Amino acid sequence: MLDPIVNFFTRMFQWIGRGIGFAVGVILWPFMWAGRWYTQRGWILKAVLGLALLMLIGLYGYFIWNTQVWSNFNPAYAEAYKFTRPAGTAPAQPAPSATGETAGVEGEVKTCTHSAIVQVTADLIDFNVNENAWISSMILYKLGLFGMDWDRTPFLDNKASFQRGVNQAIRRTTVELVDTLGRVRGTSQIDQNLQDARGAITFDEETWYFGLRPFGPKTPTPSFYRTAASSLRAFNDRLMKCEVVFNARADNLLQFVDRIASDIGSTSDLIRDRSQNFNSGWFDTRADDRFWFAYGQLYGYYGILTAAHHDFQQVLDNRGLTPLWNSVEGQLKAALAIQPLIISNGREDGWIMPTHLTTMGFYVLRVRSNLVEVRSVLDR
């Protein structure tokens, strides 16, 4: 009675085994053919091809290692800064207007000190391109997975997206340093160090070329970013020597906060679009890109806004904004505590696959809403 059933399952498993064997054979056939071809070549060609293969394996090993190892990554990094005004220095008085009267804008034009915002921005660049390899311009990242953009795969792209998010915060900050924070009035001369920093940090994130140095592929993008960090540190050195100014007035803080809120708002819109239109759970291969870009952006702004707390302390105290500013910093820190191993873009009412993307979007909106509230207080 059971023999027909047993025979059926036996034949079924035999066919499954043959199918698996056929599939494995198809996959391994090119490698087996290449192996037979290689063994029939002369020793010179074998040596050249073997060396090329070893270099390729080494290059991929280096690439994979750098995408998986995040050196000095610390979501609470801003707490390590201890910003203090150098002993014996005092804040400069607000700059006089064209009529000779003191400008009636709350805040101070600082000199003979240092800017915490400039320091943190330079440190973030150092973190991105010196303490870690800049992934987006590595040749194997640009080649992709068999020609497919790594961002469209679930592999090896999280760190690149994170770095680009941090860089977005850096770019926004350097623009504001040039336009408002690094000069007394909008009509005054632009500081050359800040101008150089802004120009260098806006360089293409993915550019590379074949250089003259050993091992072929070279990436100019990190070298441009290193130049930006050097220019920012040079500005801070000149600020300490009383050669330049940092304009920590309330109207400049208002504009700085407004621009950051707009920048974060754009990211929130990207997350919302992905979350609403691509509910594929763990199978959404672009969800991790959106998540880690937003994470990197908040990572960068966490340090920059903590630094702004120091640079604009007078404004925050006078306007009673310190508790609200502390809330912004706390929400940024809470957002950075979300570090899922695999990013899932599930439905909000789903019960099998989580919705990490929506959760990150929630934190982004919370930070933005508090920044808008800070702006409204400054605008009164």
pLDDT digits (tens, 9 = 90+) for 20-36: 877 777 776 776 776 67
pLDDT range class, residue 98, cuts 50, 70, 90: very low
**How crowded is the C-beta side of 103, counted as CA atoms within 13 Å?**
19
The Cα–Cα gap between 69 and 151 comes to 18
| pLDDT value of position 170 | 98
The Cα–Cα gap between 312 and 249 comes to 7
Q: Which residues are within 8 A (CB) of 84 and not within 5 positions of it... i.e. 6 or more apart? A: none
pLDDT range class, residue 186, cuts 50, 70, 90: low
Chain segment 233-280, per-residue pLDDT in tens: 999 999 999 999 999 999 999 999 999 999 999 999 988 888 877 776
| pLDDT value of position 58 | 87
Q: Which residues are within 8 A (CB) of 260 and not within 5 positions of it... i.e. 6 or more apart? A: 172, 301, 305, 371
Nearest to 262 by CA among 169, 378, 380: 169
The Cα–Cα gap between 333 and 336 comes to 5
109 against 121, higher pLDDT: 121
Q: For residues 24-44, b (16+ Cβ closer than 10 Å) or e, as one string?
A: eeeeeeeeeeeeeeeeeeeee
Question: Is the pTM of the predicted complex or chain greater than 0.85?
Answer: no
CA quadruple 228, 234, 240, 246: dihedral positive or negative?
Answer: negative
The Cα–Cα gap between 13 and 202 comes to 59
Enumerate the domain spans of the chain.
1-30
Chain segment 110-133, per-residue pLDDT in tens: 889 999 999 999 999 999 999 999
The answer to whether residue 152 scores a pLDDT higher than 60 is yes
Chain segment 331-341, per-residue pLDDT in tens: 999 999 998 88
| pLDDT value of position 318 | 92
The Cα–Cα gap between 3 and 338 comes to 56
Chain segment 49-58, per-residue pLDDT in tens: 778 888 888 8
5-9, 69-73, 310-314, 368-372: which has the minimum mean pLDDT? 5-9
Mean pLDDT of the region 303-307: 97
